[in-house]
Chains A and B, each alone.
Chain A
């Protein structure tokens, strides 16, 4: 059942990404390009997503446990260190260069585009190279 829920969440997430314009690198770069012809639409995307999250997350986390799991599985790290900031910076460069972040790139695989495949393959290599702290 949890897998079915995860599948459904992924599906809705992907549709959200598609409607939002995040699967279009030109739109993403247009948003990041503050000095040029600024396209603010992504601000509405993040704004809406965060607003929904801010309203829902605290209420959900007040519950004793999730619907289908024995407990919540949340990140435990709290420190702000070089690993965090450095990693975010590297991610920012990659995002600015391509206009893709992980979610939209994966969703875009269905187009069969070679650059998307190359990006995702390289991203997979990068993820394995730097191995995030596991959070099972």
Chain B
């Protein structure tokens, strides 16, 4: 690993930490991407409750409630996509040339990440960055857990299976 990689890594991490701090400072919210996405799904795709076998509930109450968090969540996600588009221009090496992940692996992994982050109420940004920055014991435990299990998973897949 060379000095350029390390420089980009530190720069990237600094931007991530700065962005998260910015959201807290300006909007007073935690930049937990799994939570923001989950909220946006409830906001904008209420019918998706059907995966739980539920009819669309409380749609009217939700619509009448304060809509600023809804707009903020959507805006944040759109910002992620805009950033992605910008990256393709200014730093295309951010993305692999081709995604060799098998489709079934992507689906299974996606389900696990979705269920897992919902249960844990956070992911690498929510717990790993923001939670630790707040010195939250919950986040420290969560982060240590998903790091260790992630490492174990890679070990099993790469070296055993």
Contacts and interface: CB of A to CB of B under 8 A. Distances in A.
Contacts of A42: 9
A52 B158 contact: no
B84 A98 contact: no
Contact of A96 (B22, B24, B33, B154): B154
Chain B interface category by residue count: 35 or more
Interface string B9-33: 1111111111111111111111101
A67 B120 CA distance: 29
B63 interface: no
Interface string A119-136: 111111111111111111
SS class of chain B's interface: helix, strand, loop or mixed? helix
A135 B110 CA distance: 23
B95 A9 contact: no
B117 A87 contact: yes
Given A40-B1, A49-B13, A127-B117, A35 B155 contact: yes
Contacts of B30: 73-75, 135
A107 B121 contact: no
Given A91-B120, A95-B150, A119-B106, A129 B95 contact: no
A48 B106 CA distance: 29
Given A91-B146, A107-B84, A133-B121, A8 B79 contact: yes
Contact of B113 (A41, A51, A100, A109): A100
B111 A126 contact: yes
B24 A45 contact: no
B103 to A, nearest CB: 6
A20 B118 contact: no
A131 B42 CA distance: 9
A68 to B, nearest CB: 5
Given A2-B72, A14-B87, A122-B107, A102 B117 contact: yes
Contacts of B98: 113
A50 B108 CA distance: 30
Residue from B37, B84, B121 with most neighbouring chain A CB atoms (10 Å): B84
Interface in A74-123: 74-75, 77-80, 83-103, 105-111, 113-116, 118-123
Nearest to A117: B106
Contact of A110 (B88, B105, B138): B88
11 contacts: A6-B29, A21-B8, A45-B13, A52-B20, A60-B25, A84-B120, A87-B115, A87-B116, A118-B103, A128-B52, A133-B121
